[in-house]
């Protein structure tokens, strides 16, 4: 049964522009704004949260990606959840557009942690009763939670953008997975736009370094779209673009869900052979990212606003997995 209260949104400091954009999208249906609160730090770095509005009995949605600085943003999320629980909120949903620590989803070596599971436990202990996120690095992370987890996908947004950007040239498109592990994600987008699939097989000698790359599939004469869930330092991405051109591709573009863009990433992308890198705003773009000539940022506020309304109403979220469902919400936004 849907609650009789209005959904209420609150945000930390991780990505205020996205939170404000989600609130604006939701005002189309209801006169909603962000709950007034202060999320501050003491001189020693401790985080303090104070909520200025009554939230007793309310359905609360905390919008807070756990991006860089990951530890600070995660602690903000946990402390906000605790503050809301102690203020008698009826239900607390953590809207985590980018779920940090997701790369530590298994024990690849002896004596290493499974930090994604630890973060899941911390969120539940803090009072979070539901999680809404986008493009988890590993799908099995949903199973780390004993509460409902709704994992949205960026691929419907990417499909809409690709059809707009490559209108009239769709037969030349080739979707490329940058590694064997990402084939399922790339295949999903390829099916949406009815394009063939290729793979760049990479072999690492040690983390962060790529020793060798091999292209599986014929990319000759194709406009290649590299698809992945995150771009950190962009070393692998830029190298893959070079290899694709060497194998006969005419253009290389990249569609990445989360633009982590650490260290030399922006410089590498700017100087790379890629014609464009398309990311979403799940992580707030830095100044260099926003000003880079070959980086575009797609909005996720429409899909998150839609998902929040569906969760609040007790409606299905899976309808947002379909490209056709989002066409109206993104009309005029992708140019």
218 labeled binding residue? no
Q: Choose the catalytic residue: 8, 117, 202, 223.
A: 202
DSSP assignment of 92-159 equals EEEEESS-TTTT--S-SSTT---HHHHHHHHHHHHT--EEEEE--SSGGGGGG-SS-EEEE-SHHHHH
Residue with structure tokens 């994992």?
151
Instruction: Please say whether the beta carbons of 282 and 64 come within 8 A.
Output: no
179 labeled binding residue? yes
**Residue 290's CB: how many other CB atoms inside 10 A?**
12
CA 38 to chain centre: 25
What element of type H or E holds 161? helix 155-165
Ramachandran angles phi, psi of 85, nearest 5°: -60, -45
Percent of residues in the chain assigned helix, strand, coil, to nearest 5: 35, 25, 40
**Residue 291's CB: how many other CB atoms inside 10 A?**
11
201 labeled binding residue? no
234 labeled binding residue? yes
Cα 271 to Cα 238: distance, rounded to the nearest angstrom: 9
Cα 197 to Cα 183: distance, rounded to the nearest angstrom: 9
235 labeled binding residue? yes
217 labeled binding residue? no
280 labeled binding residue? no
For residue 72 the two structure tokens come to 């600070």
The Cα-based distances of 199 to 151, 154, 177, 249 in angstroms read 25, 20, 5, 13
208 labeled binding residue? no
150 labeled binding residue? no
Ramachandran angles phi, psi of 225, nearest 5°: -115, 110
Cα 302 to Cα 313: distance, rounded to the nearest angstrom: 17
Half-sphere exposure of 293 (CA within 13 A, CB side): 6
202 annotated active-site: yes
Binding-site residues for Mg(2+), in ranges, read: 137, 179
Q: Which residues are annotated as a binding site for D-ribose 5-phosphate?
A: 204, 228, 232-236
Q: Which residues are annotated as a binding site for ATP?
A: 44-46, 103-104
Residues acting as catalytic residues: 202
Q: Which residues are annotated as a binding site?
A: 44-46, 103-104, 137, 179, 204, 228, 232-236
């Amino acid at each position: 049964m849907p609650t009789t209260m209005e959904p209420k949104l609150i945000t930390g400091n991780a990505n205020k522009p996205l939170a404000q954009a989600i609130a604006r999208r939701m005002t189309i249906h209801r006169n909603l704004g962000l709950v007034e609160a202060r999320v501050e730090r003491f001189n020693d770095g401790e985080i303090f949260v104070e909520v200025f509005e009554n939230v007793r009995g309310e359905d609360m949605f905390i919008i807070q990606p756990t991006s860089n600085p990951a530890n600070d943003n995660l602690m903000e999320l946990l402390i906000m959840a605790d503050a809301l629980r102690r203020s008698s909120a009826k239900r607390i949903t953590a809207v985590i557009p980018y779920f940090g620590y997701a790369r530590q989803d298994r024990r690849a070596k002896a004596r290493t942690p499974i930090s994604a599971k630890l973060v899941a436990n911390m969120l539940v202990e803090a009072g979070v009763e539901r999680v809404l996120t986008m493009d988890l690095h590993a799908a099995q992370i949903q199973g780390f939670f004993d509460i409902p987890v709704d994992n949205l996908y960026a691929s419907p947004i990417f499909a809409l953008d690709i059809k707009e950007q490559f209108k009239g040239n769709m037969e030349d498109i080739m979707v490329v997975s940058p590694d064997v592990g990402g084939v399922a994600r790339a295949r999903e987008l390829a099916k949406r736009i009815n394009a063939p699939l290729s793979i760049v097989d990479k072999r690492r000698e040690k983390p962060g370094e790529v020793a060798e790359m091999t292209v599986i599939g014929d990319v000759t004469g194709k406009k290649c779209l590299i698809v992945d869930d995150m771009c950190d330092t962009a070393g692998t991405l830029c190298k893959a673009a070079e290899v694709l051109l060497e194998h006969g591709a005419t253009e290389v573009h990249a569609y990445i869900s989360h633009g982590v863009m650490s260290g030399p990433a922006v410089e590498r992308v700017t100087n790379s052979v890629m014609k464009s890198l398309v990311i979403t705003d799940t992580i707030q773009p830095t100044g260099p990212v926003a000003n880079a000539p070959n980086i575009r940022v797609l909005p996720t506020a429409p899909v998150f606003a839609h998902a929040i309304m569906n969760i609040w109403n007790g409606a299905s979220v899976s309808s947002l997995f379909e490209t056709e469902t989002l066409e109206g919400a993104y009309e005029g936004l992708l140019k």
